[in-house]
Structure 1
Amino acid sequence: MSVARVLSPLRLATPQKNGQPSGGGVSTSMTEGLATPLRSVLTCGGCCRRYDDAAHRPKFLSCFHTACLACLRKGFSGGKVVCPTCSRVTEGKSADSLPDNTQLCTILLNMSSLNLHDLASGPNQRDTCTAHTARINFWCDTCRVPLCRDCTVVAHRETDGHKVRDHDQAVAVLRAEVRSSVSEARTLLQETRRLRHDQRKYLLRQLDAARAYEKQLKSELKALDNDKKDESRGLDRLETDSAQETSLVSLQDLSQKAGSLVMRLSRDLSSAKAVLADSFLTLGKLNRSQDDLDALELKSSASGSPGSPARGCVDRRSQSLAGHYSSRRQVHNGRANKVAMLRPALSLESPLPSIKPLPRVYLDLSIQGIQQTARLVIELRPDKAPKLCENFTLLCTGAQGFGYRGSEVFRCLPGWWLQGGDFQHNDGEGGRAALDDKEFITAETTELEPRPGAVEMLCMSTNDQGNLMVGSQFFIHVKKYSYTHVFAYVIDGLDLVDKMTQLGDSAHVYRPSKTITIADCGLLAA
């Protein structure tokens, strides 16, 4: 059934009386009082079109509001549609699959023969006074009721404070008031819709912020898990170091025992040397005695006397001493061999090889209003990140004609970090690398501990391979967090960095409230 057929009896036409439109207002008010709520029920809240059984068929939403099929088809996307009345979401396969508002359809079918003028007809006509049955020609602004001529004389006299005017003039004034009220209502409706739209956008932003916060929390939880794993690995390293220290103590005990044994061997060697000296003296005496005996023997041979018995005694004594000397020498050689066997153990006491010290650079920071500068000493780790360390050193020394000297620390997050290195703009939008004549270089991922005092380069972009690229901007962290590009540590002045981070102003993107300048920087001598 067409909506035109259903709603045609609801079209309000001014009744004819004596061939002319009636000027009364009582019946009109009654008719409009009945038609206004029906119009709000029979029209769509989205497009303000009246419902019908075709393109504007009334459809039920999950929020129990009703909208026409045409509006739902326009707003349907991804299996969801937003209610034009309360902005709640209804899910479904399509707009046509949503259920019809059967109650409203029944009302439309049963109203085809309804005529509001029949409801308004009765003994009280709008152009007749109910009290005096006379024609209504006046209007009381004070009581806001239509009047006949008798009413103006009896109950609504101007002398009693009633303001009476002509009926047609009152109708024009009331129409103007109605138009003004309608205009204000439309303005209020538009403002309400705008506020509803703004509120929806605000809620969506809050939802996005909540999701981002949830993502950040998950990231921080993951970082905490990584920190826990790092702590476990650190405990394992501590246990290994403890075992190594125990082994070192055992080696030191063995070294002390070897030292005491060497001392005993030295004493035995001294004794052996003394015995050898005595033996050599005795041998010398025996040799002289042998010469004397040879001379006596020659004399006795020349005289023809038999050999002297003293010669045999001397020979036996000489052989005995020779055997004693030989045995002493063997004992001495045996002890010498023992000493030779113990010599490798003495190598434990040899000095350790010298270790080359790590390079260090310094940054002298000047704070606005404070005459004295604060020096930071940074120890680089070229063994872990050679390119990052070389780039940072060149920027500190200014060997390429540009560097950190004179630049500012342009961002401080209280209790977390300070950021600097933008020697071009001092706002985080500039800076470049000093290595390989390139604006940015590939960042090196290290496994250095992210402890307080860690120095990290800021990643500015990525290359075609997806590698992170860095320039000259850097962070100095005062709180442990999760970093991947740590290449150095502040070994002196970290407490000053912590105090400088407190100068960050959250109202101005954490720019320091006082200007912090790198007054001087360079490489420290080894």
Structure 2
Amino acid sequence: MTQVPVSQSIYEFTMGSGRGNPVVYLDIAIGNDPLRRLRFELFYPQLPITVENFRQLCTGEGKDKARKKMLWYKGSNIHRVVPGFMMQGGDITHGNGIGGSSASSRMFDDEGFMFKHMRGTLSMAHQANTNKSQFFVCFRDCGWLNGKHVAFGQVIAEDLVYLKHFEDVGSSTGLPLKPIAIVHAGQLCGINFADATDMAQPGDENDGSNEDAAL
């Protein structure tokens, strides 16, 4: 796999620091607007199960063996956006917040609550101990979610500015005013980068229990 170029600041922040945490990305389109890439550092040492699940869903390594289907965020959508709160996506089976699947096709327990919910925090959307693929990204500090949802990553500081673009197409009901599609997803560097599927390359065309209630 050819490594996607990353900025020196990201490389130094993740690899040069000695942490080597995975850095993954979601290329997201709002309607017909240009793609915006959100990059996330994932907190692997503290939450390896949660992080590896998300990483594999970003790279296309997840597999539904029973249906012989790839499990990948590519081609899914952001189905819920609440201004002043968060945006939610990752329902890779239904696209509307009622489904989802982990990279192994099995739900997994809450791994830990050591990180707080702040602006740019990446966290699992679920009911207790039923983690699959749905996630949310905070637009603001959301302290009331601490101890309830597993926060396992953070938007890279350089990309926080993009959150406002997504927040602007949200609504009080959570239904986005424009369709928001995850056109591509992958990994940039860090732990298990060599395992990322060759198909998770930027520039590819888009592939064509209610967890919303937990937030």
- Whether these two folds match at TM > 0.5 is yes
CA shift in 2, pair 1:384/1:424, >3 Å = same
Tell me the distance in 2 between the aligned counterparts of 1:521 and 1:354: 24
CA shift in 2, pair 1:354/1:523, >3 Å = closer
Tell me the distance in 2 between the aligned counterparts of 1:378 and 1:519: 16
Tell me the distance in 2 between the aligned counterparts of 1:516 and 1:458: 18
Kept after mapping to 2: 8 A contact 1:385/1:446: no
Tell me the distance in 1 between the aligned counterparts of 2:93 and 2:36: 23
2:120 is aligned to 453
| Per-residue deviation, 1:359 | 1.2
Structure with greater strand percent: 2
2:26 is aligned to 363
2:109 is aligned to 442
- DSSP-derived class of the 1:432 partner: coil
| Per-residue deviation, 1:450 | 2.3
Tell me the distance in 1 between the aligned counterparts of 2:43 and 2:17: 18
1:505 is aligned to 171
Tell me the distance in 1 between the aligned counterparts of 2:110 and 2:18: 28
CA shift in 2, pair 1:513/1:441, >3 Å = same
**Counterpart check, 1:522 vs 2:189:** no
CA shift in 2, pair 1:414/1:356, >3 Å = closer
Asked which structure has the greater RCO (Cα within 8 Å, sep 6+), the reply is: 2
Tell me the distance in 1 between the aligned counterparts of 2:90 and 2:71: 11
RMSD after superposition: 1.7
CA shift in 2, pair 1:361/1:354, >3 Å = closer
**Counterpart check, 1:477 vs 2:138:** yes
CA shift in 2, pair 1:384/1:354, >3 Å = closer
Tell me the distance in 2 between the aligned counterparts of 1:409 and 1:357: 28
| Per-residue deviation, 1:403 | 1.4
Matching of residues 49-198 of structure 1 within 5 Å: none
AA aligned to 1:417 is M
Kept after mapping to 2: 8 A contact 1:478/1:494: no
1:216-260: CA deviations, max 9, x gaps? xxxxxxxxxxxxxxxxxxxxxxxxxxxxxxxxxxxxxxxxxxxxx
Tell me the distance in 2 between the aligned counterparts of 1:501 and 1:412: 7
Kept after mapping to 2: 8 A contact 1:415/1:498: no
Kept after mapping to 2: 8 A contact 1:363/1:376: yes
- DSSP-derived class of the 1:519 partner: strand
Tell me the distance in 1 between the aligned counterparts of 2:17 and 2:171: 48
1:417 is aligned to 86
Give identity over the alignment, percent. 33
Structure 1 spans left out of the alignment, 5+ residues? 1-352, 463-467
Structure 2 spans left out of the alignment, 5+ residues? 1-15, 64-69, 191-215
| Per-residue deviation, 1:363 | 0.5
- DSSP-derived class of the 1:494 partner: helix
**Counterpart check, 1:396 vs 2:61:** no
Tell me the distance in 2 between the aligned counterparts of 1:394 and 1:504: 28
AA aligned to 2:179 is T
Kept after mapping to 1: 8 A contact 2:83/2:139: no
Kindly report structure 1 stretches of 4+ aligned residues shifted beyond 6 Å. none
| Per-residue deviation, 1:454 | 0.6
- DSSP-derived class of the 2:134 partner: strand
Tell me the distance in 1 between the aligned counterparts of 2:87 and 2:17: 36
Number of positions where the alignment pairs a residue of Structure 1 with one of Structure 2: 163
Tell me the distance in 1 between the aligned counterparts of 2:177 and 2:116: 31
Tell me the distance in 2 between the aligned counterparts of 1:354 and 1:476: 25
| Per-residue deviation, 1:354 | 7.2
Structure with greater helix percent: 1
